[in-house]
Structure 1
Amino acid sequence: MGIFTGNRPNNLGVRDGKLAPCPNTPNCVSSQSTDASHKVEPLNYTSAPEVALTQLKQVISSLPKTNIVTETDSYIYAEFTSAIVGFVDDVEFYLDRDAQVFHVRSASRLGKSDLGVNRKRIETIRAQFQELQVQNSA
C-alpha cells in the first residue's frame, strides 16, 4: 500500500441491511445517513434487479482508476483511486430489492475533507446509471 492509499477499512459490507455509517468527517456520503451533510439519495432502478446490477457494474467499470474488489448478487464494493495523488476512496452499493434501490456509501480512507469528490462521484454514477435504465426501458 502506498502512503496515500491507507488500509482497507474493516467496517465494509452489509450488516442487517445497512452499510456502515459515515464518520463525523465530511469526506463520506451515504444514502442511509440521517444527517444532511452526509445524506445522498439511493440509486433507483426500474429494470429487473439482475439487469440493474449488471448495468451498475458497467457504469462503475467504465470510470477511470476503478477496481471492483467484491461483488455478489446484492453488493458491489469498489476502490476509486484519485488521478494525481493516488488517494483511495471506498465505494459500496447494496441492492435493496424490496425498495427497488441501490443504497450507496462513498468514503475517503484518509483525511477529513474531500472537496465534495465522493458526492460528485455518486451523482456521476447516478446519471450514467439512469441513462442505461432509460435505454433499457425504451
Structure 2
Amino acid sequence: MLKNLGVIATVFVVGLPAIVLLAGQMNLLAGRRPDDLGVRDGLLKPPVARSWNSVSSQAERHEHTDYHLIAPLRYSGDAGAAFARLEQVVAAMPGATVVERQPGYLYAQFQTRMLKFVDDVEFLLDAPAGVIHMRSASRLGRKDFGANRQRLETVRQRFDAAAPR
C-alpha cells in the first residue's frame, strides 16, 4: 500500500508537471486567436462578465465587474507621437509580438516563456480625449491571477517613463 502511494505521489509531483510543460512546448496551451478582435463602433472587444481573465479601459461601457476595469493611458502632446511611443514600448516587452498596426489601433500577442500561454492585447487611440484605451485578455481559462492587469500596468509605467520631458 505504501509503495503504491509513493508511485502515485511521484506521478503527481514529477509526471504531471512534465506533461503540462511538454504540452506548452508543443503550443497546445496557446489557445485560438479570437475572430472578434478589433474596433467595432469605436469600442474594443468587451470583457466576459463571468470570467476574471481580462481587463479593459472600456469595460464600463459593457457588462463587467470591478475586476475588469483599468484606466486608459493618458498622454499630452501629439497623438501620433504618443501612439508610436506606445508601439515601441509594446514591441520591446518580453514575449510580445505586434500582429497588427493600423492608424490608431495596435494588436499584439504576449506569449509566456515556459507554458506558451497566449494573451491578446489591444490599444485604441482616442485623440480627442487624450487617451489610449487598452484591453488585455487571456485566451484560455476563466482567471488570469492578475497577469493581464500587471502587463498593462507595466506598459503604462514604461510608456510614462519614455515620455518626452
Normalised by the length of structure 1, the TM-score is: 0.94
Gaps of 5+ in 1: none
Q: How much does 1:10 deviate?
A: 1.1
- Measured in 2, the distance between the counterparts of 1:72 and 1:97 equals 14
Question: Deviations 1:64-105 (Å, cap 9, x if unpaired)?
Answer: 111000011100000000112110000000001111111001
What's the secondary structure of 2:128's corresponding residue?
Answer: coil
**Aligned residue among 82, 88, 112 for 1:52:** 82
Distance across 2 between alignment mates of 1:4 and 1:10: 18
After the TM superposition, which of the residue ranges 117-126 and 32-41 deviates more from structure 2?
Answer: 32-41
Larger-Rg structure: 2
Counterpart selection for 1:119 from 140, 143, 149: 149
Structure 1 residue corresponding to 2:71, chosen from 26, 41, 50: 41
Deviations 1:11-70 (A, max 9, x none): 100111100100121010000012311000000011201110110011101101110000
Letter in 2 for 1:71: R
Identity %: 44
Equivalent position amino acid for 1:66 in 2: A
Secondary structure in 2 aligned to 1:52?
A: helix
Equivalent position of 2:38 in the other structure: 13
Q: Indicate which of 48, 51, 57 corresponds to 1:25.
A: 51
Runs (4 or more) in structure 1 with deviation over 4 Å come to none
Give the structure 1 partner of residue 97 of structure 2.
67
Distance 1:48 1:32 in 2: 22
The answer to which structure has the higher helix fraction is 2
For these two proteins, the number of residue pairs brought into alignment is: 135
How far apart are the structure 2 equivalents of 1:119 and 1:132?
20
Higher relative contact order (CA 8 A, sep 6+): 1
Distance 1:47 1:55 in 2: 12
Amino acid at match of 1:59: V
Give the TM-score normalised by structure 2.
0.79
Once the two structures are TM-superposed, the CA of residue 112 in structure 1 deviates from its matched residue by: 1.2
Separation (CA, whole Å) in 1 of partners of 2:90 and 2:113: 16
